[in-house]
Amino acid sequence: MLFSELSASLTRLGLKVITTPVRSPQANSLCERLVGTLRRECLDWVIPLSERHLRKVLASWMVHYNRGRPHSSLGPGVPDQRPVFRALQRRRHRFDRRVSIVARPVLNGLHNEYRVIHPRRLSVEDFCGPQVPAVNATAHPTAAWTLQQLRESIPSDHGYRFIIHDHDAIFSSESDVSMTRLGLKVITTPLRSPQANSLCERLIGTLLSVWIGLSR
């Protein structure tokens, strides 16, 4: 009776009332712990610009909370630990073979997730996330190799509009024609402007971190 009238009033205000499960005395403490962690690690550092923005932030943090954030009660461990990599070391502070430690930002750098990866298996996804097309890497790229990577990483039903590159020899006129046929507008950086790449990357990075990365 205590909460029935309150629930009815909240429902009339457009709120969805969620009750804790029956005969679960620890449910309140678990919910309070989760809400507190959510505030300290996420919402206290973000200014939501809209409901869609807030939902995007919470969805990103939820994946990090379940798959990348260590939990002290688990050892520490991760609730949804995916056994992707086999053990790479027999000694505590030294790996048995050469590996790379990759940091992937979460919520545009608010948190970071670290992975141990063999150098030959590095991809764009390891650095930028699954929303970026994964490509291969080589120490000696050529125009033909670059064109093949572009063809493999951009599907026919893509939603991209532009592709930006400089005047390096690895970008040929044939690759520009192929990208145009895929519906992309090719934009090249200006000639004799060595700082153009860094300026463009800084602008695009700021745009991604401030708005696009959290509002899609």
Report which of residues 40 and 114 the model is more confident about. Answer: 40
Over residues 72-95, the mean pLDDT reads 64
pLDDT confidence tier of residue 42, bands split at 50, 70 and 90: very high
Given a cut of 50, is residue 210 above it in pLDDT? yes
Out of 67-76, 98-107, 121-130, 144-153, which region has the weakest mean confidence (pLDDT)?
121-130
Given a cut of 80, is residue 35 above it in pLDDT? yes
pTM exceeds 0.75 for this model: no
List the one residue out of 200, 192, 134 whose CA is nearest residue 167: 192
As a whole-number percent, the residues of the chain with pLDDT over 90 amount to 6
For the range 114-120, what are the long-range contacts, defined as Cβ-Cβ under 8 Å and sequence gap of 24 or more?
115/85, 116/85, 116/88, 117/85
Give the pLDDT confidence score for residue 78 in this predicted structure. Answer: 80
Query: Could you report the per-residue pLDDT of 172-191, keeping only the tens digit for each?
Result: 888 888 889 888 899 888 88
pLDDT confidence tier of residue 1, bands split at 50, 70 and 90: low
Summary mean pLDDT of the chain: 77
Give the pLDDT confidence score for residue 118 in this predicted structure. Answer: 57
Over residues 68-87, the mean pLDDT reads 70
Helix (H, G, I), strand (E, B) or coil at 74: helix
Give the pLDDT confidence score for residue 127 in this predicted structure. Answer: 45
* Domain regions of the chain by residue span: 135-215
Given a cut of 60, is residue 129 above it in pLDDT? no
**How deeply is 8 buried, as exposed, middle or buried, from its count of CB atoms within 10 A (0-12, 13-18, 19+)?**
exposed
Give the pLDDT confidence score for residue 123 in this predicted structure. Answer: 46
Q: In terms of DSSP bridges, do strands 162-165 and 185-188 run parallel, antiparallel, or are they unpaired?
A: parallel
Which residue carries 């790229």 as its tokens? 141
- Cis link prior to 70 (omega < 30° from 0)? no
Contact call for residues 42 and 61 (beta carbons, < 8 A): yes
